[in-house]
Chain A
Amino acid sequence: MLEVLMYGAIAALISGTVLPLLYRSKNTRKASFGLSLISSVLLLGFAGAILYTGKEPVFPAIRYLPGLDFTLAADRLAAGFILLIAAVVPGVSIYSIEYVEHAKSEARKNLQAALTNLFILAMLMVVLAGNMVGFLIFWEIMSLSSLLLVLHDYSSEENKKAGFFYFVMTNISTAFLFLGFIILFRLTGSAEFGPLEYSASELALPFLFLFIGFGVKAGLVPFHKWLPYAHPAAPSSVSALMSGVMLKVAVYGFLRFLLSVSTPELWWGVLIITAGSLSALFGVIYALKENDIKRLLAYSSIENIGIIFTGIGLYVIFRVEGLESLALLSLAGSCFHAFNHALFKSLLFLCAGSIVHATGTRKIEAFGGLVKSMPATSALFMVGSVSIAALPPTNGFAGELLLYQAFFQSFAVTNPLLTVFLIIALSSFALTGALAAALFVKLFGITCLAMPRSEKSSLAKEVPKHMLIGPAIPAALCILGGLFSKQLLSLAGWEIEFPDLLLLGLLLGLIYAALFLIIRSKETSPARISETWGCGIPTLAPYMEYSSAGFSEPLVMIFKNIYRTKIVHRAEYFDRQESLFRNGNVEIRLLRFFEEYLYIPPARAIESFSKYVSKLQNGKLDSYVLYAFLAVIVLIIATGGFV
C-alpha cells in the first residue's frame, strides 16, 4: 500500500517532467505543476505513515548494473526528509503556476516546468536511494537540473558566472562524495548504506571527505560562496526549492552516514560544530550588509545550515560523551530545524519572488511601503520573518528551542576544555539568533514598512492569487508547526521534555484578544491621522527614511573587523609604459574575505597553469616530436630503473 503511494508520486513527477517537453502550452505547464502537487500529497501520506507506524516499506530491487541493483529504502530518517519535501513542494507548485509565466519565452517556460519536476524527483530519489550508487546518480541529476534552472536566464553575464561557479562547486561536492563513498565501499565491500562498525581511525578519511562533500552542497563556510551567487540567478520558486530542500538533502546525506557510524570521535563533533558556528555567524553577518533581497536570503540560508550542523555536532559530542538523551535532543533539534527552515525559507523566497516581480528590482533600498500596496504578500512575508527570527510561537522558535535546551544542559560533559568550547559555541549560537532577528527586522521593516523608497516600489501591485496561495501554505505550516511542535515531536517518536507552545500560543492569543476587547470597549474618541513628526519638516520624503545600509550600520561598526573594506584601482592607459592615462576608476568595497583569499588564488593559479599547459600545444611539429622524444627517454630510464 505504502509502496503504491511512492510509485504514484514518482510516476506523477516523471509525467510532470515529460509532459511540458512534449507540447508547449500553458495547459501542460499547469498540468505539470498539478502533478507535482499530487505527488507531494502522495508523499505526505507515505512519509506520514512511515513516521507514524514505524513500518518500513519494502521495495523490490530494480536490476540496474551487473553486480549492483538499484534499491530504494525508506526508514524513519528518510521519511522525515520526504515529509520535508512534501511540505515544501505544494507551495512552490501552486506558486509556480503563475510565476513561470513570467519567463521570457514559451520554450523556457516549459523547460522550467519540466526541470522543476525533475529537480523535485531527483531530490526525492536521493533521499529514497538505498545504496551509494543510486544516491550519487540522483545527487548528480539533482545538481544538474538545478544548474539548468539557475541558468534559466543564461544570457545575462551575472547569471553565467553564477551558473559556472555553481557548477564547479557542485562538482567539487560530488567529487568528495565519490571519494568518501568509494572508501566506504572498499571498507564494507558493498554499496549499501549499513551500520559502520569500524574503528574511528578507519572512518576518519571517509568522514572528512563526506563532510567536505556534503558541506559544499549544504553551503557550510568556507564552501558557501556559491549560494549567494546561485540564488539571485535562479527563479524564486527554484531558490525556494534549492534553499528549502536541496540544502537539506545534503544534511540528510551527512546524517545518513553519521548515524550509521557506531563509534564517532570527539574531534568530529568539534569540527562539525566549529564549521556550523562559523557558518551561522558569517552567514548572518554577511547577510546584514547585503542589499540584494535574494542574496540576503541566501546568506541567511548559510546561517541556518550552520545552526543545523551545530546541532549535528552537538549530537556527535553527546554520543561520544555517552549522554544519549541529550544526543537525541540535539539530533531532534537539528532535524526539526531543517524541517522548519525548509518551510520558512521557501516561504520567504516565494514572497521575495513576488516582491521582485512586483517591483522589478532586487534592491532592498528600492522597496518600502509594500505593506499597503501588497498587503497579503506582506503579511505572508511577516510570518516568514517572524519564523526565521525564531520568535515564539512559530516553528523557527521550536527548532532553536530544542537546540538551546541541549546546549543549556551540555555542561554536564566532564572535559573542561570541551566546556569552554561549548560556552563559545553557545554564545556564538545566541549571537547568531539575535543577529538574525535584527536582520529580519531590517528586511521586513525596510521592504514593507514606511513609504516607498523608489518609484518602482510605489507602482507595485499585489500579485495574482496563485502567487499568494502558494506561499500561504508554508506560512500556515510555519505557524501550525510552531504551535503543535510538542505534539509533532511526540508523533515523530521523540519523547522529549518540551514546553507546550500550543498553550503559550493560546495564552498569547487570549490575552491579546482580552486586552484588545477591554481597551476597545472603553474607547472614547476615535483615532486621528496626522503626519509623522519630522523635526519640523512639513512633509516626510522617502529619502529621509532610515535606509537598509543605515539600519545595519551600528552592527557594521561593531563587526568592523569582519567587514573590512578594500580599495580597488583600475586604470587604463594609452600606451604600454602606462604613462598616458586614458581612464580608470577607484572603488572602495567590502572585502570579500573568502572569495579573495580562498577562492580566487587557487582559481588564478589553475588558470595561469592551464595557460602554461595550453602553450605546450603550440602547433609545431618540432615541439610535439620533442615531447614524444622526452617521454621515450623517460620511459626507457624508468623501465631500466624498474628492471
Chain B
Amino acid sequence: MNISFLLFALLNPLFALLAAPLYMALIRKVKAYAQGRRGPKLFQVYYDLRKLMQKEAVYSPTSSWIMRFTPYLNLSTLLVCSLFVPLVFVPEPAGGLGNIIVFLYLLALERFFTALGGLDAGSAFGGMGSSRSMSLAAVIEPTMVISFAALAFVLKSLNLHQMFALTAGTVLPISPTLVLVSISLFIILIVETGRLPVDNPATHLELTMINEAMILEQTGKNLALLELAHALKQFLLMGILINTILPVGLSTEIDAGKIAVSALLFLLKAGLLAIIIGLFESALAKMRLFRLPAFYVMAFFFSALTILIEVFA
C-alpha cells in the first residue's frame, strides 16, 4: 500500500461523506422548483442530520439487535464502498479495493440488513417495504450486473480504479458505447436510490413507499446514520456515472492543486447530474410496482447492446 492510496483512503470517504447530503437537498430543491415551490434550504439536510444525531433512539419492544446493528453497518458499508469509487483522483490500486463486483455486493449487504431491519419491529409497513425492496432489487440485479459487466468489458478491467485510470484525462467518453452504458447506469441510479418512477422518497403513503417504509421504525441517530448512508450511496453511484461519461478533470496524480480543481469540477458535474435527476423525477409519475420490470428491461437492453457492439466491433 502506498502513500497515494492512503491519501485516497482518507480523502475520498471524507469528501463523499461531506458532499453527499448536499445532493439530496439539491434534487429536492430542483423538484420543488419544478412544482412551483421554493423548497427547503440547501443546507437544511445537514441541520436535520445534526438534530437527529442529538436525539435519543426509540426502539420497539419487539425489535432486536438487528435494528440497532443495521444503521452502523449500513454507514460503515457505504464508507467502505466509497473507497471503491475514485471521485476526484485515481490512486494506484491496492488490495483489490475497487473491484466492481465487490462494490455491487457491498450494496447488496446494505440492502439485506436494511430489509431485515424493516422486518424487525414487526410492523406491517416495515415488512411491506422489505418485501418490495428485495423484490425490486432482485429484478434490477440482472440489469445492474450486465451494465457493470458492459462497463468492465468496455474499460477492460474489473477494478473501478483501473477503469477510471483509463478514462481519466479524456474529456469525452473514450468509447461511444459508454453512452449506452451510461443510460443504463442512470436508470440504475434512479432505481437504487429509490427515486421516481420507482419509489417516491417524499411520501409516507403505504401504497407508494419502499425505502421509507423499511426505516419507518428507525429514530434518532440511527435514522441519521441511515439517511447518511442513503445519501452516500446516491453520491457514489453518481460518481461512477460521472466518471464514466464525463471524466474531464479526473486527476491521477497527487497534487494538491489538481485535486482541488478536480474536486470542484466534480461538485459541479454532480450538481448538473442532480438537476437532471430532479427534472427527470419531476417529469415522471410513479409507476405501478408490477410495471417496473419493463422499465428495467430498457436498461438491460442498452447494456446488452453495449457488449454486443463491443464484441462485433
B282 at interface by CB-CB < 8 Å: no
Kindly identify which residue among B57, B76, B109, B124 contacts A527, using a CB–CB cutoff of 8 Å.
Answer: B57
What are the residues of chain A within 8 A of B80 when measuring CB–CB?
504, 507-508, 511
What are the residues of chain B within 8 A of A540 when measuring CB–CB?
62, 122-123
Contact check, A427 vs B146: say whether CB atoms are below 8 A apart. Answer: yes
**What is the bound-complex CA distance between A637 and B79, given in angstroms?**
87
9 A-B pairs with the lowest CB-CB distances in the bound complex, closest first: A546-B127, A499-B96, A434-B141, A450-B122, A427-B142, A445-B119, A430-B145, A438-B134, A554-B135
Q: How many residues of A contact B (CB 8 A)?
A: 79
B58 at interface by CB-CB < 8 Å: yes
Interface stretch (choices B97-105, B175-183, B238-246, B249-257): B97-105
Contact check, B75 vs A555: say whether CB atoms are below 8 A apart. Answer: no
Interface stretch (choices A145-153, A201-209, A529-537, A606-614): A529-537
Given A434-B142, A529-B60, list of 17 further CB < 8 A pairs?
A401-B102, A409-B158, A411-B153, A427-B142, A438-B134, A441-B112, A445-B127, A497-B96, A499-B97, A500-B95, A515-B72, A527-B56, A544-B122, A546-B119, A550-B128, A551-B130, A554-B132
Q: Considering residues B58, B95, B149, B300, which has the most beta carbons from chain A within 10 angstroms of its beta carbon?
A: B149
Indicate whether A401 sits within 8 Å of B101 (C-beta atoms), given known contacts A449-B66, A529-B61, A552-B131. Answer: yes
* CB 8 Å contact bits of B55-73 with A (1 = contact, 0 = none): 1111111111110000011
B216 at interface by CB-CB < 8 Å: yes
Contact check, B97 vs A504: say whether CB atoms are below 8 A apart. Answer: yes
B192 at interface by CB-CB < 8 Å: no
What are the residues of chain B within 8 A of A499 when measuring CB–CB?
95-97, 99, 102
Kindly identify which residue among B131, B140, B304 contacts A546, using a CB–CB cutoff of 8 Å.
Answer: B131
What are the residues of chain B within 8 A of A526 when measuring CB–CB?
56
Q: Can you identify 24 A-B contacts, CB atoms within 8 angstroms?
A: A372-B64, A392-B105, A408-B101, A416-B308, A428-B142, A434-B140, A437-B134, A449-B119, A498-B96, A500-B95, A503-B96, A508-B77, A515-B75, A515-B225, A526-B56, A532-B62, A534-B124, A540-B62, A544-B124, A550-B127, A550-B128, A554-B131, A554-B290, A558-B135
Residue of A nearest to B119 (CB): A445
Contact check, B290 vs A401: say whether CB atoms are below 8 A apart. Answer: no
Q: Which of A444-461 contact B (CB under 8 A)?
A: 444-446, 448-451
Q: How large is the interface on B (under 10, 10 to 19, 20 to 34, 35 or more residues)?
A: 35 or more
Contact check, B58 vs A530: say whether CB atoms are below 8 A apart. Answer: yes
Residue of B nearest to A540 (CB): B122
What are the residues of chain B within 8 A of A625 when measuring CB–CB?
none
Contact check, B105 vs A397: say whether CB atoms are below 8 A apart. Answer: yes
**What is the bound-complex CA distance between A528 and B64, given in angstroms?**
13
Kindly identify which residue among B60, B64, B308 contacts A371, using a CB–CB cutoff of 8 Å.
Answer: B64
**What is the bound-complex CA distance between A531 and B102, given in angstroms?**
38
**What is the bound-complex CA distance between A41 and B99, given in angstroms?**
36
Q: Considering residues A416, A423, A434, which has the most beta carbons from chain B within 10 angstroms of its beta carbon?
A: A434
Residue of A nearest to B142 (CB): A427
A519 at interface by CB-CB < 8 Å: yes
Please list the residues of chain A having a beta carbon within 8 angstroms of any beta carbon in chain B: 369, 371-372, 386, 389-392, 397, 401, 404-405, 407-409, 411, 416, 419-420, 423, 426-431, 433-435, 437-438, 440-442, 444-446, 448-451, 486, 497-500, 503-504, 507-508, 511-512, 515-516, 519, 522, 524-534, 540, 544-546, 550-555, 557-558
B138 at interface by CB-CB < 8 Å: yes
Kindly identify which residue among A411, A503, A508, A555 contacts B95, using a CB–CB cutoff of 8 Å.
Answer: A503
Contact check, A528 vs B58: say whether CB atoms are below 8 A apart. Answer: yes
Indicate whether A529 sits within 8 Å of B58 (C-beta atoms), given known contacts A391-B109, A420-B308. Answer: yes
**What is the bound-complex CA distance between A526 and B57, given in angstroms?**
7
Kindly identify which residue among A449, A497, A557 contacts B290, using a CB–CB cutoff of 8 Å.
Answer: A557
Residue of A nearest to B293 (CB): A558
B24 at interface by CB-CB < 8 Å: no
Q: How far is the CB of B200 from chain A (nearest CB, A)?
A: 17
Q: Which of B276-312 contact A (CB under 8 A)?
A: 289-290, 293, 300, 304, 307-308, 310-312
Contact check, B119 vs A423: say whether CB atoms are below 8 A apart. Answer: no
Please list the residues of chain B having a beta carbon within 8 angstroms of any beta carbon in chain A: 53-66, 72-73, 75-77, 79-80, 83, 95-97, 99-102, 105-106, 108-109, 111-112, 115-116, 119-128, 130-132, 134-146, 148-149, 152-153, 158, 216-217, 220-221, 225, 289-290, 293, 300, 304, 307-308, 310-312
Contact check, A503 vs B128: say whether CB atoms are below 8 A apart. Answer: no
Q: Considering residues B116, B126, B131, B310, which has the most beta carbons from chain A within 10 angstroms of its beta carbon?
A: B131
Interface of B: prevailing SS = helix
What are the residues of chain A within 8 A of B99 when measuring CB–CB?
401, 499
**What is the bound-complex CA distance between A318 and B55, given in angstroms?**
57
Contact check, B102 vs A528: say whether CB atoms are below 8 A apart. Answer: no
What are the residues of chain B within 8 A of A407 when measuring CB–CB?
149
Kindly identify which residue among A416, A431, A446 contacts B119, using a CB–CB cutoff of 8 Å.
Answer: A446
Residue of B nearest to A544 (CB): B124
Contact check, A437 vs B137: say whether CB atoms are below 8 A apart. Answer: yes
Contact check, A558 vs B83: say whether CB atoms are below 8 A apart. Answer: no
What are the residues of chain B within 8 A of A525 when measuring CB–CB?
55-56
Contact check, A545 vs B122: say whether CB atoms are below 8 A apart. Answer: yes
Q: How far is the CB of A414 from chain B (nearest CB, A)?
A: 8
What are the residues of chain A within 8 A of B119 when measuring CB–CB?
441, 445-446, 449-450, 546
Contact check, B102 vs A504: say whether CB atoms are below 8 A apart. Answer: yes
**What is the bound-complex CA distance between A210 and B20, given in angstroms?**
55
**What is the bound-complex CA distance between A433 and B120, given in angstroms?**
23
**What is the bound-complex CA distance between A441 and B114, given in angstroms?**
10
**What is the bound-complex CA distance between A599 and B63, given in angstroms?**
45
**What is the bound-complex CA distance between A423 and B293, given in angstroms?**
18
Kindly identify which residue among B58, B106, B135, B221 contacts A392, using a CB–CB cutoff of 8 Å.
Answer: B106
Q: How far is the CB of A76 from chain B (nearest CB, A)?
A: 25
What are the residues of chain A within 8 A of B96 when measuring CB–CB?
486, 497-500, 503-504
Kindly identify which residue among A392, A416, A446 contacts B311, using a CB–CB cutoff of 8 Å.
Answer: A416
What are the residues of chain A within 8 A of B53 when measuring CB–CB?
519, 522
**What is the bound-complex CA distance between A401 and B105, given in angstroms?**
9
**What is the bound-complex CA distance between A519 and B225, given in angstroms?**
10
**What is the bound-complex CA distance between A438 and B136, given in angstroms?**
10
Q: How far is the CB of A542 from chain B (nearest CB, A)?
A: 8
Contact check, A533 vs B217: say whether CB atoms are below 8 A apart. Answer: yes
**What is the bound-complex CA distance between A386 and B108, given in angstroms?**
11
**What is the bound-complex CA distance between A555 and B136, given in angstroms?**
8
Q: How far is the CB of B241 from chain A (nearest CB, A)?
A: 19
What are the residues of chain B within 8 A of A516 when measuring CB–CB?
72
Q: How far is the CB of B95 from chain A (nearest CB, A)?
A: 5
Q: How far is the CB of B57 from chain A (nearest CB, A)?
A: 4
Residue of B nearest to A526 (CB): B56
**What is the bound-complex CA distance between A519 and B76, given in angstroms?**
13
What are the residues of chain A within 8 A of B56 when measuring CB–CB?
524-528
Q: How far is the CB of A143 from chain B (nearest CB, A)?
A: 35
